[in-house]
Each structure stands twice: as C-alpha cells, then as structure tokens.
Amino acid sequence: MEPWMASTEWANMGCGSALSEFDCVAALGQARANSAWATHWSTWITKADIQEMKGYGLNTIRIPVGYWIFEDLVYTDSEHFPQGGLAYLEQLCGWATDAGMYIIIDLHGAPGAQVAQQPFTGQYAPTAGFYVDYQYQRAYWFLGNMTELIFNGHHPAYAGVGMLEIVNEPIPNDSLISKYYPNALATIRAVEAQYNVPAAKHLSIQMMDARWGAGNPNTDLPSLSLVAYDDHRYVKYEAKPPTTQAGYLQTSCADQLGGNWPLVVGEWSISPATANQDDLDLTNSAANMQFYIDWWSAQVQAYEMQDGWVFWSWKTDLNDYRWDYQLAVRTGVVPQDVEDAYAFDCRPHRR
C-alpha cells in the first residue's frame, strides 16, 4: 500500500504519518495492525470491483503483493508487516478467476527492499537490501510457494493466474541479472515439474524489460520459453516530458516502446508531469476532459500493440481520475467499453 495514493484510508487505519506498512505495523502493534488491515482488505477491493472491471471490458488484473504474505518468511524480531493477507489474496484471485480474468501476481515488495525509501516495497528502507544471497533465498521461497499454491490442486481460486512477476522495479545490480533472475526462473519451473504441469500450462515468468534500466533480463537466462517482460510507461517521468496537450498526444500516438518481447505495460497513468499537472490546460477539470479521453485512447492503442497493459491504479482516494481507472470511467473520461479507445484517430498527432 502506498500512503500517497490512499491518504484518507491510511489515516482511517490509524497509520497517520507512518511512511510504509512496516512503519505503521510497528507503531500500531501487531494485533491492532492486523485488525486495521483486515478491514481494509475486506472493503477496498471487493467482488463488486472485479465485476465492474469485467463490465468495462478489462480482462487482466495485476495484484501487487509483498513477500510477507507468507508469514513464515518474516523475521518477527525485526520485521513488522500485517498478517492474514494470504486468505484475502486467495479470495481476490477466486473472484477474478470466476470472472474469467487473467491474473498477474507481482512480487511488489521484495525481502530487504529492492529500492531504498520507496513505500511500494512495504518499508521505507534507508538502503536497498535485496541484492544479497540470503534475501534472494527468501524471494525464491516466496516464488516456489506461490507456484505450489497455483498448481497443487487444493486452491482452485488460483486457476486464473497465468503470470508471476519475480520482482517489481529493481535497481541495477549485477547479481540481479546473473543470479536472481535465472534462479528465480529455475525455482518456478522446478515446482511445475514437481506437480507434472505440462509445458503448455507453465506460468509466464515476468521481469522488468531492458528499457527499465536495471539491465537486460535475458543475459543469463537458460531459456526464454514463456518469459515475459514488464515496462512502466509513465510519460510524466520522462527526462523531458511534454508540457502541452498536443505534446502528450504526439508522444503517445508515436510510442513504439521497443525493448524485450513479449511486453506487458504493467503500469501507466494519464497524469502529466508534476511540474505542469496544474497548468490551466492540464488540470483534471471538466474543460480538459476531452484531452484526457484522447490521451487515454492514444496510450491504449500504443500498448495494445504490445502484449497488453494494466492501468495504475484501479482505485485511489486522491479524487483524481488521472490515477484512478474506476473514477475515470465514472467521470466519463474513460469509456465504459475499453474498445472505444479506437474511436480516437492518432494519425494527425504523429510527428
């Protein structure tokens, strides 16, 4: 959970000024934190949300989870995370499976934190502590257990899971490419072999693509069979982002992405650069709705030329449809039928 995206929810949970889940649990104590998260999980995303997604023509859900969802992995003398999440994950996957959706489970928070001072890792760690052998071992344990849940025959809710992302948004590190990626792949394939999973039903194993900047994930992989890639396409964070409506449309209409294939654009938004997002022609006001309809459409068209996309995020409490797909549809910025993206003609906007 990222506090900036759900500040009201975060406050209602009692987390106040805590920077991360780790910090909030440490402050509240385990029992109180468990109660707060149980309420959050049972109300934030429900079966009705999944049905609403399906009704809008969405067919894929990406679920970010932390390694601590397997509580045996947590060092209880020094790590502080909410407990009880695995039951909710299974419930959520069951709803998505029943709706016929394709599920990506993403190791969003890695042991030791894959990035420093980033709440999405579940902790506001001063340094990135993931890139050492003993933390890799905990991540392999997570991936192996998750694969076992999917294939051991006792958890039909996970039948819709088709892809495991083995770490979200890592930073450059030699051992990530030479050690973690090949061993993570081997761990998943070994569990599939244990359960005699036919090759055609193997999981796709996803890594950030070379464009992300953490290295070429293919360098030391023994096989590229059912390997997939992730890119997070936030135009707002480009080194020189556009500053006008025309600039954003030109950028997205001409966006070829490139990089590794097959690629899923696992995160994107319609939020402009922070320095310009409150400019008169870029605010999320009624006057600019047509621009945001068009820019959403341009990005959908670009990412559909890859292997698909997932918007970040489905729901926030920012009251800003530029980060909130559900609100964007309800506001009329995103059409109720995703196929309507093709009503927009990108050709005049290409340079």
163: which strand partners? 104, 204
Partners of residue 118 on adjacent β-strands: 123
Helix (H, G, I), strand (E, B) or coil at 61: strand
| Annotated catalytic residue 238 | no
- Choose, from 21, 267, 304, 339, the residue flagged as catalytic: 267
Residues pairing with 267 in the sheet: 232
CA-based torsion, 206, 212, 214, 218: positive or negative: positive
Short-list 69, 60, 162, 164, CA closest to 109? 69
Phi, psi of 229 (to 5 degrees): -135, 160
Burial class (CB in 10 A: 0-12, 13-18, 19+), 4: exposed
Residue positions counted in the chain = 351
Name the packing angle between helices 85-98 and 30-44 (round to 10°).
10
CA 232 to chain CA centroid, nearest Å: 9
Cα separation of 90 and 96, whole Å?
10
Going by C-beta distance under 8 Å and a sequence separation of 6 or more, which residues neighbour residue 50? Answer: 61, 92, 95, 96, 99, 101
Helices (H) and strands (E) in the chain, counts: 11, 6
In whole angstroms, what is the distance from residue 157 CA to residue 99 CA?
11
* Active-site position among 79, 169, 238, 339: 169
Supply the angle between the helices 21-28 and 30-44 in degrees, to the nearest 10.
130
- Is 169 noted as a catalytic residue in this protein? yes
- What would the 3-class secondary structure string for 317-332 be? CCCCCCCCHHHHHHHC
Residue type, 324: D
Q: Which amino acid is at 345?
A: D
> How far apart are the C-alpha atoms of 12 and 149, rounded to whole Å?
33
Q: Looking at the annotation, which residues are catalytic?
A: 169, 267
